[in-house]
């Protein structure tokens, strides 16, 4: 097993899959209590808020899996992989603030 495969697999398992699971639980199974930092009792549509935040987390996990696959396929190198992971990992934060503003 080469180093490239190990890094891609480790990133997919430790980064992508947990985010997909958490996003699915929040968006589909309506486990909004997993979202921290928002008082949902004062929101106009707490279910919409949960779906918005949950889907953003789910998409982040899918993008991490995609980037890991592209690293393994050697579409880009380690530096591109690092930059892509940094940018992708920031995605849920603006989505959280936008959902908080939209549904408050």
pTM of the model: 0.87
The residue extents of the domains of the chain are 3-102
In eight-state DSSP terms, residue 40 is G
Q: Please enumerate in sequence order all residues whose Cβ is within 8 A of that of 73, keeping only pairs 6 or more positions apart, or say none.
A: none
pLDDT at 1: 58
Choose among 7, 2, 19: nearest CA to 81: 7
pLDDT tens-digit map of 42-95: 889 999 999 999 999 999 999 999 999 898 888 988 899 889 999 999 999 999
């Amino acid at each position: 097993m080469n180093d490239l495969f190990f890094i891609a697999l480790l990133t997919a398992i430790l980064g992508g899959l947990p985010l997909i699971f958490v996003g699915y639980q929040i968006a589909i199974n309506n486990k909004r209590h997993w979202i921290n930092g928002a008082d949902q009792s004062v929101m106009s549509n707490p279910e919409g808020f949960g779906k918005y935040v949950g889907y953003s987390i789910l998409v982040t996990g899918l993008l991490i899996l995609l980037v890991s696959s592209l690293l393994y396929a050697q579409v880009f190198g380690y530096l591109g992989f690092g930059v892509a992971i940094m940018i992708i990992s920031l995605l849920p934060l603006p989505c959280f603030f936008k959902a908080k503003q939209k549904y408050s």
